[in-house]
Amino acid sequence: MALPVSSQLRYWGIAALIFGLLLWLLGDMLLPFILGGAIAYCLDPVADLLQRWGLSRLLSTTVITLVAMLAFVLAILLIVPLLVEQAIALFNTAPAISAKLWDFLTTRFPDLLDNSSSIRQSLTGLGETIQSRGGDLMNGLASSLNSLVNILVLIVVVPVVSFYLLLDWDNLVTKIDELVPRDHVNNVRRLGHEIDTTLASFIRGQGTVCFIQGLYYASALMLAGLNYGIVVGFVAGIISFIPYVGALVGGGLALGLALFQFWGDWTSIGIIAVIFMIGQVLEGNFLTPKLVGNSVGLHPVWLIFALSVFGGLFGFVGMLVAVPVAAMIGVVARFFIAQYKTGLLYRGLSTEDDNDV
């Protein structure tokens, strides 16, 4: 006999509360394990594919780990220093950009502004603030990445956690399945399959889309001669998991820098605009339909809300778990809505009377 609904809600509520407390209390200590779990989850299909090709699970995991570590080291040595350098330079040019914007406004609209205007003071203050705060932020980030603790986390702990989780992923899934209450095992398996489908479509698929978009924007903007094009392309790619936001933010930033750099050269400015138009066409018509699909079920507003709430409550670790938790909540919510629509509370007694007639 199954437990009463009130008892089940109490147990599941306690489990959710414990999860939230652990996330809040342990915080940064969970970071390498969350990253390791996310990496293992994303690479599990690759390990399964290698197994189907005849490799053992241990050999498949070893090959994947070595390739991933090589790619990570190359990125750290070749790409990250350039990104940090360009980002710091971009922040340092903020006052010059605001000054040029001021010159443009005073040239076109001489009666609109004067030397003592609050708008001019605001522009100057904004540029100086971005320079000081942004430079401090990027310098702090660069120094923290070079600290001994973070090097150990990135080079030792995360790969080790990823390796063992990837090696035992199928066994872990089986063990978790054995712990599910038997009265609910079919529903939990069905919900788990839907959650896995949603996460696979979004994290694996959208992650690939973000990588391709970032690589395309960075390469195209750099070839077009835009200063700080790599940073702009990286930003546009990394936030393109929210539809249209990556293109709007990256395109607005790129066009602003293009106007500052190429003022009067409308061909170059048009090339920058065309780059983002082509990127949107590729994403909307080819990349997203092929890699993500149309049935992910994660609305952009729901994603923004989840990232804001979890980021505010749990910091960076919260932002990492925001998407998986949002996907789980979405799937469970759809399940309960379906249950609600089959119950008497929604259908009412009048529906039964009609059926009797």
Q: Which two tokens stand for residue 326?
A: 């949002």
129-164 in b/e burial notation, b at 16+ Cβ within 10 A? ebbeebbeebeeebeeeeeeeeeebeeebbbebbbe
- pLDDT per residue, tens digit, the chain (357 aa), is 456 666 667 777 887 788 778 777 776 677 778 888 888 888 888 888 898 998 888 998 999 888 888 887 777 776 666 666 666 666 666 666 666 666 666 665 554 455 555 655 565 565 555 555 555 545 544 444 444 455 666 677 888 888 888 888 888 888 888 888 777 788 888 888 888 887 777 777 777 888 888 888 888 888 888 877 777 888 888 777 766 677 778 888 888 778 777 777 788 888 888 888 888 888 877 777 777 665 455 676 777 788 788 877 777 677 777 777 887 888 888 888 888 888 777 777 665 555 555
Q: Are 249 and 239 in contact (CB under 8 A)?
A: yes
* pLDDT of amino acid 250: 80
* pLDDT of amino acid 272: 87
**Alpha carbon 104 to chain centroid distance?**
37
* pLDDT of amino acid 144: 45
**Alpha carbon 297 to chain centroid distance?**
16
The model's pTM:
0.64
- Dist CA 272 CA 263 (whole Å): 13
Write the secondary structure of 253-271 as one string of H (helix), E (strand) and C (coil).
Answer: HHHHHHHHHHCCCHHHHHH
Q: Are 136 and 11 in contact (CB under 8 A)?
A: no
* pLDDT of amino acid 215: 87
* pLDDT of amino acid 146: 47
DSSP category for residue 93: T
